[in-house]
Structure formats: C-alpha cells, structure tokens
Amino acid sequence: MAACSTTACAADAQAAIQPAAPAKRAIVVLGDSLSAEYGLPRDTGWVNLLRERLAKERFDYSVANSSISGDTTSGGRARLTAVLARIKPAIVIVELGANDALRGVPLATTESNLRGIVDASQAAHAKVLLIGMYVPPNYGPDYTQKFHAVYERIAKDKNVPLVPFLLAGMADKPAMFQSDQIHPTVQAQPLLLDNVWPTLKPLLGAGAAH
C-alpha cells in the first residue's frame, strides 16, 4: 500500500466520511407510442417536457422513459420487473392499453395486466399514476365505455390516481394529430403534459424549493 503525506491522508480520510450525494428520485413512464415520441423529433414529446417542468419547478426527480411504440399491457407487464430492478422508481406512470384495443385483446386480459403492473409497482414501493384511454368511436359506444371503465375500476380498487384521458381536449381536433390521425403532433405535446401534471404533482411530495 502506497504511503501518503499527512495532508493527503487527512484529505482522504475526510473524503471517506463525506456522505454520498443522494440520488435523484426517479419517475418511470411505462408507455406506448403516445409516450415514445412516435413520429416526433427527438426530445419533443410530453415525457421530455415533463423533465423540463420538473426542473423548472425545482422538483428533484429524474425521468426514465420506458415507452415502446406498439407496446401492449402484456409487453409492459413482461418488462416491468427488469425496469423496477434497474431504476428503483419512486413513481411509475402507466400509459398502456390503447394497442390492446386496436389488436382486439380481451378486456379481461387488459385489466389483468394493468392490475399486475400496479401491484408490482406498489410492491416495489413506488407510487402509481394510471393514465386512462378511450378508443375511437367506431368501436361502438358500449365497448368504448367498457374499455374506459377498466381504468376507473382499477384506480378505485387499487387506490391510485387516474388521469381520465391522455388526449383530453384534442380528440376532436384533427390538426392536433399526425397524418395517421392517431399520434399527436409536436404542437400537441404540451397539452398532453397539462393533462397529466395536475394529477402527478401531488405525488411528488417534498422536493420543490419555494
């Protein structure tokens, strides 16, 4: 072992007893293309805008975007264990389910997967924010209501906050969507964040410097 001067040794000893800087609490967004910046320039989606708002309002959180275009509740549930182990989030935002409807996945399967995601997140000591969706009206009003009711039921049963509809305020405005009329434009991303923020903010707890 190399010798050190008295001054150097003292400095090393002081450094050894300094507590490590606390890691930022993490938010994970477990989502699909609506959160994965599908068709958008990099770093222009609502999840990145969330990072910017957290910094602006001085909430000390990092944001991990674990969203994959085309993902279903089954896909999200399957990869969640690894996400929780790697990131150890304080908050998990769940934005999944639309692709289940588009693919004709039974509602019972979608509900089971979402419940599993909530349960696993809570077991990992993370708070959960559930984001609800409506499906296009061509599915019929009965299915549309039953689909959305899945989110309401889980939120009530699991006592987790619910954003009723990520696309609220823009669903009837074609100009807010890309040419596929499914994915919101860059200009629409601030509205998506505004739909999420009021429900997310109470979960952030202490950390904002006033």
Helix axes 107-123, 141-158, angle to 10 degrees: 20
32: domain CATH number is: 3.40.50.1110
What type of residue is 21? A
How many residues in total does the chain contain? 210
- pLDDT over 90, % of the chain: 79
Q: How many domains does the chain have?
A: 1
Which pLDDT band holds residue 206 (cuts at 50, 70, 90)?
low
Q: Residue 86 falls within a domain, yes or no?
A: yes
Q: Say yes or no to pLDDT of 28 above 90.
A: yes
Element (H, E) at 13: helix 6-17
Q: What angle do CA 154, 158, 161 make, to 5 degrees?
A: 80
Q: Residue 13 falls within a domain, yes or no?
A: no
Q: Residue 61 falls within a domain, yes or no?
A: yes
Task: Dump strand ranges (E) for the chain.
Answer: 25-31, 61-65, 91-95, 127-131, 162-163
Q: Residue 9 falls within a domain, yes or no?
A: no
Average pLDDT for the chain: 89
Mean pLDDT of the region 1-19: 45
Q: Residue 91 falls within a domain, yes or no?
A: yes
Dump pLDDT digits (tens) for 172-198: 899 999 999 999 999 999 999 999 999
100 is catalytic: no
Q: Say yes or no to pLDDT of 124 above 70.
A: yes
Q: Say yes or no to pLDDT of 16 above 80.
A: no
- pLDDT recorded at residue 2: 46
Identify the CA nearest to 99 among candidates 35, 173, 168: 35
Of these residues, 142, 172, 179, 180, which one is catalytic?
A: 180
Q: Residue 16 falls within a domain, yes or no?
A: no
Of these residues, 69, 112, 148, 183, which one is catalytic?
A: 183
Domain residues for the domain of 197 are 24-201
DSSP string, 174-205: GGGB-TTSSSB-GGGHHHHHHHHHHHHGGGS-
- Residue reference for tokens 């989030």: 89
Of these residues, 32, 33, 35, 100, which one is catalytic?
A: 33
Q: Residue 7 falls within a domain, yes or no?
A: no
Which token pair is 40?
């958008």
33 is catalytic: yes
210 is catalytic: no
- pLDDT recorded at residue 15: 41
